[in-house]
Amino acid sequence: MESEILKRLEQLTGHISFYYENLETGDVIGYKEEEPLMAASVIKLFIMTAIFDRLEREDICKENSYKKSFSEQTVISVKREDCVPSCGALTYLHDGILVTVMDLLTLMIIFSDNTATNVLIDILGIEEINKTIQRLGFEKTILQRKMFDLEKSNRGIQNYITAGEVGRLLKMMYKGSLISGRASEKMISIMKNQQLESKIPFYLKAIPDGPEIAHKTGEDRGISHDVGIIYGKEPFIVCFCGNETDTPRFDRVMADISLELYQEVNG
């Protein structure tokens, strides 16, 4: 099956990378998985990780009787000037709407809300987010601009990921070692509520009593990604990343391969 998957990926236009890991057997299939690609919304997984890292540190402060200033329930006012176009809901709601940090995290992941993402970036700062990314051992992943920052984008300043590093992030999350067991569990719980389901889950959702899927998509012009954990008798990680590609064709390939892998490893 590996040779068939690689053959199909090679036939796609543009820059394609792929990573698969069976979380029971350790079997791995990779295709250009260490090539940095423009991240689109998959970078939001790393932003979420940095936020949970900050939340964990605040919890430690609370346990040691220091003032706790930041929590999942901290309320943020989203102003009209915070809003950016495209994905999500906050841009279309009233000026000054009050949301919690956990609301922002949830909207960022399950609806890929760009406004929620930018508010979270402002809370931590790009430098702190990148320090967390680097401390966790991700060398090629980097956040360099906020969502929908057209001025920086036009200057070639982009955010980058690799399929392999996203795969390692997901494995750490699955094993409960990404920040902490509690944080890993909460991140997976959010990802299982993903509402954008036209890629990895497309056929899997049609299976009676089909698998749970915790995943995150990414889209932009010529860019299509979907990365996640597919549960079952043998859960596995699958990461599809594409730049400068035929996105409708790649989306169909993601759906096909995800179904075939699930059928292969789960009978």
Query: Are the beta carbons of 247 and 40 closer than 8 angstroms?
Result: no
Helix residue ranges, H only, 22-179:
43-63, 101-110, 114-124, 126-135, 150-154, 163-175
Domain count, the chain: 1
Distance CA 262, CA 211 (A): 9
DSSP character at residue 41: G
In the numeric block, which tokens belong to residue 112? 């890929």
DSSP letter at 72 equals T
User: For residue 128, what are the domain limits?
Assistant: 2-266
Return the CA Rg of the chain. Answer: 18
Q: Are 242 and 219 in contact (CB under 8 A)?
A: no
**DSSP string for residues in 97-128:** EEEEHHHHHHHHHHS--HHHHHHHHHHH-HHH
Q: pLDDT per position in the chain (267 positions), as tens?
A: 899 999 999 999 999 999 999 999 999 999 999 999 999 999 999 999 999 999 998 765 555 444 457 899 999 999 999 999 878 899 999 999 999 999 999 999 999 999 999 999 999 999 999 999 999 999 999 999 999 999 999 999 999 999 999 999 999 999 999 999 999 999 999 999 999 999 999 999 999 999 999 999 999 999 999 999 999 999 999 999 999 999 999 999 999 999 999 999 987
What's the CATH number where 13 sits? 3.40.710.10
